[in-house]
Homo-oligomer: A and B are copies of this chain.
Amino acid sequence: MSIEARLQQLGIQLPAAPAAAGNYLPAIRTGDLLYLSGVLCALDGRMTHTGPVGRDQTVQTAAEGARVCVLNLLANIRAHTGSLDTVARFISLTGFVNAVDGFADSPAVINGASDLLVEIFGDAGRHTRAAVAVNGLPKNSTVELQAVVELKPRA
């Protein structure tokens, strides 16, 4: 089954690809690697999850925020390549979690992103990962994800 068909089967509709907040690009291909800009907890320009975990968000709501980030990541991949079926596999995911000092559960938050990637892409969605807490993110987003993806070689 193609990934685009799999998305439909899961009932997932991607948001509009997020607008860049400056003089940069959402995605750049170099060789077979697609570098992706950081994406936030926002749908069609409206923030869905803001504020730090441990004060404004729980681990569970922040994990939902991480899922929203993935939708934006996928929207950027599709906008750049034309189709999610161009993806060979995910390589790297860096998850920044807006959190109160000493927050130790960023992996549980970023699991919201990792689980969705594997749900959609299967083994090709499995990636290397780092999760860290930080004391602030753009637009007060609860999560920011930065990724590198391997695309199928050009025909």
Residue of B nearest to A52 (CB): B102
A59 at the interface (CB under 8 A from B): no
Name the B residues within 8 Å of A6 (CB-CB): none
User: For chain A, which range describes its interface: under 10, 10 to 19, 20 to 34, or 35 or more residues?
Assistant: 35 or more
A33 at the interface (CB under 8 A from B): yes
Bound CA–CA A59/B100 (angstroms): 22
**Is A91 a contact partner of B135 (Cβ separation < 8 A)?**
no
**Is B36 a contact partner of A128 (Cβ separation < 8 A)?**
yes
**Which 5 A/B pairs are nearest by Cβ-Cβ distance?**
A133-B136, A38-B130, A103-B136, A23-B114, A24-B129
Apart from A52-B101, A133-B134, 5 more pairs, CB < 8 Å:
A28-B126, A99-B135, A100-B136, A105-B138, A106-B137
